[in-house]
Chains A and B, each alone.
Chain A
């Protein structure tokens, strides 16, 4: 009965299978360990399954799970793809696979240590010397870097797939900075939420023990030098393909996410440049490739690494996971010699086969490859040479001939692999279950002497039929990977307890992130202030019934010009020569709202705001990320709006979401330097934008009727209209308005309140000098604050009889504006002093002004 149930979902699937299948056995039956899954899926039903698939897409998007694709138009993020059908392996089989994986990790560790050590493997002719010396992963400066644990290879990922014999075969090794474990974890989290019924009906092993082991290993590594190790997660930056994972994992593991420029070598240690000063770093988990890690001794032009890092490692003052140089064992050519290396180093046969590999540097192997080109896969022994694997099967005669010549030019550079027929597994594609090839990436972490295997992995399957294209770069799908058992397994987790001591590290705020947070504050408020003011102007525009042939209302002219001043989009509405733009303001207003290329427009500001927010995405919680996604949607709807009405509606929506962003931050961000810098940025921008509008509105005296409308608009811009009406009813007095806008300290949007708020933020930031003295930023704000508080409205509103210019008012506002503008520079000199450029020099003899020889 149950079997029939499962099969109805798989009926059409069965017919499309043409090779070894993971789910269906050779009798056309569902294999026992898959049954429970398909019974559950059956009860969910195909229609519902589609809905759940959509839910997965939404969840991943909400969580901001992306995979950056290089060379894509606009270099954008690609949403991570997760197939709702997981990949299952039974525990019984898995135990064998695990043995094979552990053996492989142990073997690669020994090879790594041999290559950078006694080199017995080449001396005894077990592996050819070319695979060491002509291996682009072999970095001479790393030969005397030894970390204190027995295993040098601390984390290891292995790609495997099921071969035609039904056994798992090893396809590839990842040893320098393997990625994917974070995506595996996120896949599991999303699946658990979207398919709660699967959690109940199937027993599967948990992923978290792997991460606990990793934390323990890291703690052990750091503990050698520090009881409470300071651990950083080194990323190449937001442009990296797996940046999402760097943010996700660093936050899951509780380590500070840093870039190379956040670190500094000094006095034999690595330091983190934090806003509170230098903090010693004990362990670096790196996602920067080997040769980019240290520009002093490795690739000179690398801006991603830390100059001097290798020297600190040699002294044992910092541990790096994995140590640079580890990529030497990623060379494809070595795969051909694993069996012999295993016998030599471990005195046992390999437990897991690698896919058959021939290195063309040997005559016999070369001849075999040349005679069988049409059925082999050709790769370069060294990775990262921009060489795509070539499939002999798919090549024409001419192409094969060309390949042959290319190989003969330098045989030792090439490796051939057998193209095995891999197993298929069902994927949900376009509403149907169809067979697709799949490969599994598994993750191992060393405990110092032995390896622990993640109970799961990252399965990737090909989006196209009968092709083995699993790389995310090329659009592969991922699958949650389950190790299933017949009975529930007891699991207990050891929790890493940090000892308390004086040098307990919170998540440190790097100077770079400090600056980013400050700018998130500024750009957020810039967008907010402009949106708010535009809504006010659009309301006035909509209310106005323009008599035909009459000139534009004077108050609208002033308001339009204010927008140009506010956004610095000159000439815009201020064009003295041509005032037709004032008669027909819509095109300019549109472009100020939805032109992403126009510097200063709402759309442009949203983009800058989102980009900067992404730089510090490790600071945001799930809700904040979700709101950021919604704001990104707003950007799209603004671009799609074609009438003032639609635009107003979109702006209203945007305004609410921006407030939601701010509200969430205000309620949840810890009150640390990062928060106060964000607040400082926000207040600076708020003061600047309001001062700008005030100047545009009142620097020149207008007719009373016009000024009345302007007063109303300005009050609305300061959120003070209700207060004003409550006190003054419908009486309009500029003195009363300015007094309120400048001086009221119990209303949040007045200049006095904003300046107080700004100086309060600054007082919470770290002090480098005597804490009783004001620093330069605080002094600047005090000066501006004094100008505002000494404000005398009566004398300020006096205007020149002929020019109508209010000199005193305008000059005062200008001074406040300039002072507050300077605060950014003050803060940069105090806290963001990290942006000096790094240069490398390697002078040639002849560049030196010495005598000839």
Chain B
């Protein structure tokens, strides 16, 4: 499957900004299951230079700074993505308890997964979250089955509602109100997994949306998306999308992996200015035949 991907972010400031420092995490990864071609970054006003680097987690980040006074900042990332057929892996019957022990006793494995078992900036848990997790992830449940159950439970019991939460909304609140967006659901699912000693990471990316029957697809109608990746011994990292209750196949495009959103935020910045700003984002994931 091939896609043309375009991600545009526009910041509008009330007062002019004279100094802006930014790190972008917008370049889709090239992986055994996904190829990223012709990545291009257009920034207005144009910075003198954009520096790219591979971060600790293997993602590509771009740094730039702006020093001329501006009131609008536009960042457009575009690329062509090719999703390759996935090799099917036999589902392992390893239980949650067995997996947990494996993480403790196999040092090489421990080093790979430990940072995805610990609390992180946006992912912290309490007894309530743990109790919620245990309804799906009891020690004797096969891990793969448990994660599928957790994903389904979040999909069925939570309402997708944008504007209700922000990145700083504690997961407690998300759990209590049963509302949120893909980012909250992913953070919650990860918190559940980590609370019972398992390893899970955050995936930042895109998903292709299909317009209602008979209607044309509108420009900018797609969006950035988030889901999770869980380490299942004997299978490796396996992805689940709790927002849509499915296992990502050829409609998900992966941009970056991290412990949570903080590691892979598409656009991080420090501005020197006073006053408010507004953000507008348009994403297009166009299938190429």
Q: Which residues of A contact B (CB under 8 A)?
A: 119, 122-123, 125, 129-130, 133-134, 140-141, 143-144, 264-268, 295-297, 300, 307-308, 311, 314-315, 836-853
Measured between C-beta atoms, what is the minimum distance from B167 to chain A in Å? 4
Q: Is the CB of A837 within 8 A of B114?
A: no
Q: Name the CB-closest residue of A to B118.
A: A134
A846–B267 touching, CB < 8 Å:
no
Pair B115/A265 contact, Cβ less than 8 Å = no
Q: Are B21 and A134 in contact (CB under 8 A)?
A: no
- 16 more A-B contacts (CB under 8 A) besides A122-B111, A296-B268? A123-B107, A134-B118, A296-B21, A296-B270, A300-B268, A307-B270, A836-B18, A836-B273, A839-B271, A841-B270, A842-B262, A845-B224, A848-B280, A850-B220, A853-B182, A853-B243
Residues of B within 8 A of A850 (CB): 220, 223-224, 281-283
Q: Is B230 an interface residue (CB 8 A)?
A: no
Contact across chains for A848 and B56 when beta carbons are under 8 A apart: no
Residue of A144, A266, A268, A848 with most chain B CB atoms under a 10 A cut-off: A848
B271 contacts A841, C-beta separation under 8 Å? yes
CA distance A836 to B13 in the complex (A): 14
- Rounded to whole angstroms, the CA-CA distance of A852 and B223 in the bound complex is 7
- Interface members, chain B 248-289 (any A CB < 8 Å): 261-263, 265, 267-274, 277, 279-283
Interface string of B190-231 (1 = CB under 8 A from A): 000000000000000001010000000000111111100000
Which of A133, A841, A849 is B280 in contact with, Cβ under 8 Å?
Answer: A849
List of B residues within 8 angstroms of A134 by Cβ: 114, 118
The interface of chain B, by Cβ under 8 A from chain A, is 9, 18-19, 21-23, 48-49, 51, 53-57, 63, 65, 67, 107-108, 110-111, 114-115, 118, 160, 162-167, 180-183, 207, 209, 220-226, 243-244, 261-263, 265, 267-274, 277, 279-283
Are A845 and B56 also in contact (CB < 8 A) when A266-B65, A296-B268, A838-B270 are?
Answer: no
Which A residues are CB-close (under 8 A) to B48?
267
Query: How far is A839 from B243 in the complex, measured between Cα atoms in Å?
Result: 31
User: For A846, what are the chain B residues with a Cβ–Cβ distance below 8 Å?
Assistant: 162-166, 180-181, 183
**Residues in B whose Cβ lies below 8 Å from that of A308:** 21, 63, 65, 270
How far is A850 from B283 in the complex, measured between Cα atoms in Å?
8
Residues in B neighbouring A125, C-beta threshold 8 A: 107
- A-B pairs, top 8 by smallest CB distance, nearest first, are A844-B167, A140-B56, A307-B270, A307-B21, A848-B281, A846-B162, A846-B181, A308-B21
With A129-B111, A266-B67 as known contacts, state yes or no: A849 contacts B268, CB within 8 Å.
no
**Interface-centre pick from B48, B207, B244, B271 (highest chain A CB count, 10 A):** B271
Q: What is the CB-to-nearest-CB distance from A387 to chain B, in angstroms, rounded to a whole number?
A: 17
List residues of chain A with CB within 8 A of the CB of B53. Answer: 144, 314
B107 touches A852 (CB 8 A): no
What residues on A are CB-neighbors of B118 within 8 Å?
133-134
Question: Do A129 and B114 have beta carbons less than 8 Å apart?
Answer: yes
Which residues of chain A come closer than 8 Å to B268, judged between CB atoms? 296, 300, 840-842
Interchain CB contact under 8 A, B223 and A847: no
Q: In angstroms, how far is the closest chain A Cβ from the Cβ of B164?
A: 8
Pair B107/A840 contact, Cβ less than 8 Å:
no
Looking at A123, A134, A315, A841, which has the most chain B CB atoms within 10 Å of its CB? A841
Partner of A265, one of B65, B111, B243: B65
User: A842 contacts which of B165, B167, B220 (Cβ < 8 Å)?
Assistant: B167
Residues of B close to A836: CB separation below 8 A: 18-19, 272-274
- CB-CB under 8 A from B107, the residues of chain A are 122-123, 125, 129
Give chain A's interface secondary structure class.
Answer: loop
Of the A-B pairs whose beta carbons lie under 8 Å apart in the complex, a sample of 5, sorted by A's number, is: A296-B268, A838-B271, A840-B269, A846-B165, A848-B279
Find the A residue at minimum CB distance from B269: A841
Are A264 and B19 in contact, with the CB atoms below 8 A? yes
Separation of A265 and B263 alpha carbons in the complex (Å) = 22
B226 pairs with A129, CB closer than 8 A: no
Residues of A within 8 A of B67 (CB): 266-267
A265 to B19 alpha-carbon distance, docked (Å): 9
The residue on A at minimum CB distance from B272 is A836
CB distance from A136 to the nearest CB of B (A): 11
Are B65 and A842 in contact, with the CB atoms below 8 A?
A: no
How far, in angstroms, from A292 to B92 measured CA to CA in the complex?
44
A454 to B19, CA, bound (A): 42
For the complex formed, measure the closest distance between the CB of B53 and the CB atoms of chain A, giving whole angstroms: 7
**Measured between C-beta atoms, what is the minimum distance from A382 to chain B in Å?**
12
Are B21 and A265 in touch, CB under 8 angstroms?
Answer: yes
Residues of B within 8 A of A130 (CB): 114
Task: Output the nearest chain A residue to B274 by Cβ-Cβ distance.
Answer: A837
Quick check: B270 and A839 within 8 Å, CB to CB? Answer: yes
B226: A residues at CB distance < 8 A: 845
Report A-chain residues with C-beta under 8 Å of the C-beta of B21: 265, 296, 307-308
Q: What residues of A have a CB within 8 angstroms of the CB of B180 in the complex?
A: 846
**Given A836-B272, A841-B269: A315 and B51 within 8 A (CB)?**
yes
Flag if A839 contacts B223 (CB, 8 Å): no
Q: Determine if B55 and A839 form an interchain contact, defined as CB atoms under 8 angstroms apart.
A: no
A296: B residues at CB distance < 8 A: 21-23, 268-270
Residues on A with beta carbons closer than 8 Å to the beta carbon of B167: 842-844, 847
Measured between beta carbons, the chain A residues less than 8 angstroms from B163 are 846-847
Chain B residue numbers with a CB within 8 Å of A311 are 51, 63
For B9, the chain A residues whose CB sits under 8 A away are 848
- Out of B22, B65, B165, B270, name the residue touching A295 (CB < 8 Å): B270
Nearest opposing residue in chain A for B117, CB measure: A133
Query: Measured between alpha carbons, how far is A842 from B280 in the docked complex, in Å?
Result: 14
In the bound complex, what is the Cα–Cα distance between A300 and B268 (angstroms)? 10
The complex places the Cα of A847 from the Cα of B9 at a distance, in Å, of: 12
Q: How far does the Cβ of B169 sit from chain A's closest Cβ, in whole Å?
A: 9
Contacts of B23 in A (CB 8 A): 296-297
Given the complex, which residues of A lie within 8 Å of B162, measured CB to CB?
846, 852
Q: How far is the CB of B179 from chain A (nearest CB, A)?
A: 11
Q: Determine the residue in chain A with the shortest Cβ distance to B66.
A: A266
B17 to chain A, nearest CB (A): 9
**Is the CB–CB distance between A847 and B166 below 8 Å?**
yes
List the A residue with the shortest CB-CB distance to B19. A264
Among A130, A265, A315, A846, chain B packs the most CB atoms within 10 A around the CB of A846
Given the complex of chains A and B, what is the CA–CA distance between A593 and B74 in angstroms? 57
Q: Give every chain A residue within 8 A of B111 (Cβ-Cβ).
A: 119, 122-123, 129
Q: Are A853 and B267 in contact (CB under 8 A)?
A: no
Q: Which residues of B contact A852 (CB under 8 A)?
A: 160, 162, 181, 223
Most A C-beta atoms less than 10 A away, residue of B182, B221, B279: B279
Q: Which residues of A contact B271 (CB under 8 A)?
A: 838-839, 841
Residues of B within 8 A of A268 (CB): 49, 51
**Shortest CB distance A437–B (Å):** 37
Tell me the minimal C-beta distance from B29 to chain A in angstroms.
Answer: 17
Bound complex: CA A853 to CA B184 (Å): 13
A265 to B270, CA, bound (A): 11
A839 near B273: Cβ-Cβ < 8 Å = yes
Residues on B with C-beta less than 8 A from A133 are 114-115, 118
